[in-house]
Structure 1
Amino acid sequence: MPKQLVAIAPRKTAIVEYDERPINQEEVRVQVEFASPKHGTELAEFRGESPHMDDYYDEEWRMFLPREEGKRTGLQFGAWNLGNQWVGTIVEVGSRVTDYYVGERVCGYGGIRESHIVRGVDNFYLRKMPQEMSWKSAVCFDPAQFALGAIRDSHVRVGDRVAVFGLGAIGQLASQMAKLAGASYVAVIDPIERRRVTALRAGADEAFDPVTQDVGLELKKATRQVGVDVTIETSASELALQQALRGLAYSGTIAYTGWARAFQGGLDLGREAHFNNAHIVFSRACNALNRDHPRWDWRRIEETCWELLETGALNCERVIYPVVPFEECGEGYEKYVDQRPDQSIKLGVSFT
């Protein structure tokens, strides 16, 4: 029987068998070759720290409200297939499927498992991959959307100076996109050396270590005391936000992209934020109404990101690190995603 990676309890994984059903007339079966999890929202749920555990976001009220007593969150430990995206080859197609063929290489959304059955009719999210496209680029489709959302929400323009805080996949891609958007200077900030080096190799101009350097002051020094025009904050750390405010130019913009938890301390809005007229935009690419609606929506962001990845305009080869074999992905997930994120950027899983 085929196997999949499952969260059996908070912060605990297992590789378990699953039943593989026959496909219907409008479905295809894909043999998975590579996959990758999500290091942000999925991790919060894996740790049992998500606000969706005890509350739910009410779309009508546009606020979190308590769940009814006994009502499940939708996350079932023991059955929850961990993972975000995968790349594989179609091995079977239903009789009504005309857009996909056996042998085609595709990328889709779903958990880390040996096979997927997905809809093969009018399915935007079953993306065909050109032969030359790297699987590492394909599994960056999801973080690329939030990186592009931050770039657009912050209105990065030609000649702007930009700082990117947090160099997971979203931050790595945001730093590359800032350059594509015409930024004259891009600084990247992360305490992990490998992440800083990866961003520099992909085109960032300068990197700072927030553990050993006063990042806000360094950004002012690098910009002749003016500060950066735009900051993309992906780390969701209150300490990073404080330094972002310190290094921001007067009336500059911070696109706050990270999914924050309740702050414990270190953020003081009575300092630079109060004096420097900072603009903070909370950026979420998948919001129902884009800030540039109706010209831009989530689908246009998705299409633009796929084109950037498909054409090689974004370099994801070093963003996917490390890569572990499927047989070791349970231990790999616990170590590189949860316990030791300092030893990874975005985990890759290989089935080949």
Structure 2
Amino acid sequence: MPKEFVLVAPRTIEFREYSEPPLGPGEVRVRSIVSGIKHGTEMALYTGDTPFLTQRFDLECRLFLPEDNPTLYPHHLGSWLVGEVVEVGPGVTRFRVGDLVHGGLVHRPTNVARAEQLYPLAPNMSPETALFTDPALFALNAVHDAQLKLGDVVAVFGLGAIGLLAVQMARLNGAMRIFAVDLIEARRNLARRYGADDALDPAAGDVALAIKRATRNRGVDVAMEISGSYAALHQAIRSVQVGGRVVAASYYKGSAAPLSLGAEWHHNRPTLISSMAVWGCPHRLYPLWDLERLERTAIDLLERGLLSTEGMVTQRIPYERAPEAYAFIASHPDETIKVVLTY
């Protein structure tokens, strides 16, 4: 029998045998080729740095509420996966056995999914490139929330996969000047390759002041914070001009101590926007845009070569060594951008 891995406690992964269920109408069975680990939400589940550890999210009142009997574990991890169709159920006409497909699925050797959940892999797109559909849709949502206009000056804080894609999308959207901010030199170098005009190291000095000085003390029109760092969020707030926009598109954990709302936040009246494309949050331009359109547009941008992912895959690790992959990301975040599992 095939084996899947399950998160049974923070930082504890176990492999278990699983059975292959028969296919129902409209379902397909997919044999995995490669899948990508999500470095934000998925890693928060792995480390236990998530409110779901002790609370539940009540979808009616949209609040996290205490949970007497937490049910987070055991938990299946997953994000975006590419595989081959090996069996189709009754009524499936969209795919045939042998087709390559991709979509949001859990990490395991095989998956059963509804045919409409999956996308065909374009002949000109590699399986690894398709894995960037997930970060690309969140980057696209952040750019939409930023309401970028032709000629805007933009700062992107955090140059992981989402941030690096956001840099490229900001350029596609007509940004006049792009500041890319990250502690890691390799990421800053990639940002320059992808179109950033300035790549700044926040450890080298006051990054918000550097941005202000470079813009004749005005600041940027929009700052997108995609690192998940409260310190970076504070600098993003400091970097925008009066009435500017700050888009927070990351997963924040722990204490917000570095964030000081009594300073520039209070005196410069920026608008802070939470960018969230899932969990039932409608797109701000709904019904013109929704999650399905975000996904399809992200795929289209990748298929057309309008977004580059070259250099973003930093590690390729066999599925059987998945526990090592998660442990490596947790302990060496400075050495990873996108870690993929191979099957």
TM-score, scaled relative to structure 2: 0.94
Structure 1 residues 230 and 114, CA, compared in 2 at 3 Å: closer, same or farther? same
Is residue 56–residue 66 contact of structure 1 (8 Å, CA) maintained in 2?
yes
1:98 is matched with which residue?
Answer: 93
Of the candidates 318, 321, 334, which is equivalent to residue 314 of structure 2? 321
1:140 is matched with which residue?
Answer: 132
Q: How far did 1:25 drift?
A: 4.1
Of the candidates 277, 302, 312, which is equivalent to residue 285 of structure 1? 277
Q: How far did 1:129 drift?
A: 1.0
Distance 2:48 2:181 in 1: 28
Answering whether residue 6 of structure 2 is matched by residue 6 of structure 1, we say yes
Q: How far did 1:264 drift?
A: 4.2
Structure 1 residues 59 and 326, CA, compared in 2 at 3 Å: closer, same or farther? closer
Please give the residue correspondences for 1:221-236 in structure 2 after superposition, counting only pairs within 5 Å: 221-236=213-228
Distance 1:145 1:172 in 2: 13
Please give the residue correspondences for 1:197-208 in structure 2 after superposition, counting only pairs within 5 Å: 197-208=189-200
1:184 is matched with which residue?
Answer: 176
Of the candidates 259, 268, 276, which is equivalent to residue 251 of structure 2? 259
Note the aligned Cα RMSD (angstroms).
1.7
2:23 is matched with which residue?
Answer: 23
Is residue 12–residue 334 contact of structure 1 (8 Å, CA) maintained in 2?
no
Return the letter of the residue paired with 2:215.
Answer: T
Deviates further, 12-21 or 243-252 = 12-21
Residue aligned with 1:84, SS: strand
Identity %: 41
Q: How far did 1:57 drift?
A: 2.2
Structure 1 residues 312 and 5, CA, compared in 2 at 3 Å: closer, same or farther? farther
Answering whether residue 55 of structure 2 is matched by residue 60 of structure 1, we say no
TM-score, scaled relative to structure 1: 0.92
1:39 is matched with which residue?
Answer: 39
Return the letter of the residue paired with 2:320.
Answer: E
Distance 1:29 1:63 in 2: 36
The C-alpha deviation readout for 1:113-132, integer Å capped at 9, x for no partner, is: 11112123xx1x20101111
Distance 1:95 1:57 in 2: 36
Of the candidates 260, 274, 277, which is equivalent to residue 268 of structure 1? 260
The C-alpha deviation readout for 1:39-88, integer Å capped at 9, x for no partner, is: 11122222222112222222322222222x22x43x323xx332211101
Residue aligned with 2:85, SS: strand
Distance 1:311 1:44 in 2: 32
Is residue 13–residue 334 contact of structure 1 (8 Å, CA) maintained in 2?
no
Answering whether residue 73 of structure 2 is matched by residue 76 of structure 1, we say yes
1:166 is matched with which residue?
Answer: 158
Q: Which runs of 5+ in 1 are unaligned?
A: none
